[in-house]
Amino acid sequence: MVTDYSQYNDTDLLQGLSDSKERALVELYNRYWDKLFVVAANLLDSAEEAEECVQNVFLSLWKRRETLLLSHSLNTYLSVSVKYQSFSMMARNHRRHAQAEWDDAIDVADTTSPEGEYIAKELQQRIEQSINRLPPKCQLAFRMSREQGMAVKAIAEELHLSENTVKMHLKNANKKLKNDLLILIPMVLVLFIDKDL
């Protein structure tokens, strides 16, 4: 006789999952896919990426089936998991985008002139020096945000700070860096004016 898993509650399905019953996973997938997809799609700009996040959540659920212990409901666990997956994907996208922008800037500098190369290196050094002069917590929050692509919430959890404190650190860092880098504008202008003459 074929078991009708659609009649099972979440607890029974989790038990089936821990017993490696694939049909229990299929039922959970069918039961929660739509809701998780909406959560991921609201955070991401791509339906394809949202689907990937949901797939990753269920893949992780299957891999952890024998050791999974939930302190909250399965619904809560899955919702938090898909949000985490979405934030991770956003961070990866941000890092790729930032790296691509930096590579483009370096490519432009490399192809313009030796002066362009010099300015690109000088700018990179000045940015690093300015970051190093930030107060320790402010610097750490800034690096986690800009270099690791972490969201404010994740930084707050990692550093045991409130989200507002992290936002304040990032705002202060951006303001300080902007002020420090204003002195480079004349150098850049000279480069482009000379190039146009």
User: Over 90: is that where the pLDDT of 35 sits?
Assistant: yes
Question: 14 Cβ partners below 8 Å, 6+ apart?
Answer: 24, 68, 70, 74
What's the pLDDT tens digit per position in 138-193? 888 888 888 778 888 988 988 888 999 999 988 888 888 777 766 655 555 555 44
The pLDDT tens digits of the residues spanning 9-20 come to 888 998 988 898
The per-residue pLDDT for range 38-68, each reduced to its tens digit, is 988 888 878 898 999 899 899 988 998 888 8
Distance CA(65)–CA(19), nearest Å, equals: 8
What are the structural domain ranges in the chain?
Answer: 5-89, 113-196
* pLDDT at residue 168, rounded to an integer: 92
Asked if 87 and 154 count as a contact pair (C-beta separation under 8 A), the reply is: yes
Range 5-89: architecture per CATH:
Orthogonal Bundle (1.10)
Q: Quick one: pLDDT band at residue 4, thresholds 50, 70, 90?
A: confident
Residue whose structure tokens are 């998991």: 81
| Domain 113-196, second-level architecture | Orthogonal Bundle (1.10)
**Residue among 66, 81, 82 nearest 14 (CA):** 66
pTM over 0.85, yes/no: no
Q: How many CB atoms lie within 10 A of CB 104?
A: 10
As a whole number of angstroms, the distance between CA 16 and CA 11 comes to 9
